[in-house]
């Protein structure tokens, strides 16, 4: 299994078993998991994505290899969020990501650490050259994070901002 490790975090893909347990056996998963799973995780966006994710993992589609990743606070053994890849990188090396951190009061450096490590992994392991992420105009945490990571706001559509970063080869 792939693991992306930082000083404080472990970022791992969500397995088929965990995805199914989140949907069908949440109470049992909460009891048996050695890692604490917050009641509010996964986010509503990810919950809506889980049936598609489960189906694609069951079919062993290539696209599912990198879909949903869990961000785990290593020392606390607690899931604190997720990163969602929307498909595999395009032929040009472009990928769309979204992230969610459970507790907005967590140190902002945690989200930075997770997303930065994940983008580094994508750049070196999957030849990603451009990462695209979106947020709403009122999401100041995300805007600060994207700016800190070096993303540039490329487009505004209504209340949504599209950010991208170009990675050097």
**pLDDT band at residue 65 using 50, 70 and 90 as cut-offs:** low
CA distance 80 to 110: 9
pLDDT in tens, 116-135: 999 999 999 888 999 999 99
What are the helix and strand counts (H, E) for the chain? Answer: 5, 8
pLDDT value for 72: 96
Q: Greatest CA span in the chain, whole angstroms?
A: 45
Mean pLDDT over residues 149-159, rounded? 96
Beta strand pairing call for 94-101 and 130-136: parallel
Rounded to whole angstroms, the Cα distance separating 52 from 71 reads 20
- Name the pairing type of β-strands 4-5 and 68-73: unpaired
Model's pTM, two decimal places? 0.91
Residue positions counted in the chain? 169
The pLDDT value given to residue 62: 52
Domain boundaries, the chain: 4-166
Check residue 148 and give its pLDDT.
96
Q: What is the pLDDT of residue 63?
A: 46
In this predicted structure, the answer to whether residue 103 has a pLDDT above a threshold of 80 is no
Higher per-residue confidence, 1 vs 94 = 94
Bond before 42 cis per omega within 30 degrees? yes
Question: How does strand 78-85 pair with strand 68-73?
Answer: antiparallel
Give the three-class secondary structure for 86. coil
Cα four-point dihedral sign 59, 56, 42, 166: positive
- The verdict on domain 4-166 having CATH code 3.40.630.30 is yes
């Amino acid at each position: 299994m792939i693991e992306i490790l930082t000083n404080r975090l472990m970022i791992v893909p969500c397995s088929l078993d965990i995805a199914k347990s989140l949907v069908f056996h949440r109470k049992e998963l909460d009891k048996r998991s050695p890692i604490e799973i917050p009641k509010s995780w996964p986010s509503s966006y990810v919950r809506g994505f889980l049936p598609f994710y489960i189906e694609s993992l069951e079919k062993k589609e290539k696209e599912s290899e990198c879909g949903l990743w869990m961000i785990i606070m290593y020392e606390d053994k607690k899931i604190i969020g997720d990163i969602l890849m929307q498909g595999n990188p395009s032929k040009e090396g472009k990928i769309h990501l979204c992230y969610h951190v459970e507790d907005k009061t967590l140190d902002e450096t945690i989200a930075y650490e997770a997303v930065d490590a994940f983008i580094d992994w994508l750049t070196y392991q999957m030849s990603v050259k451009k990462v695209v992420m979106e947020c709403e105009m009122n999401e100041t945490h995300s805007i600060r994070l994207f700016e800190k990571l070096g993303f540039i706001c490329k487009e505004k559509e209504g209340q949504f901002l599209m950010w991208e970063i170009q990675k050097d080869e």
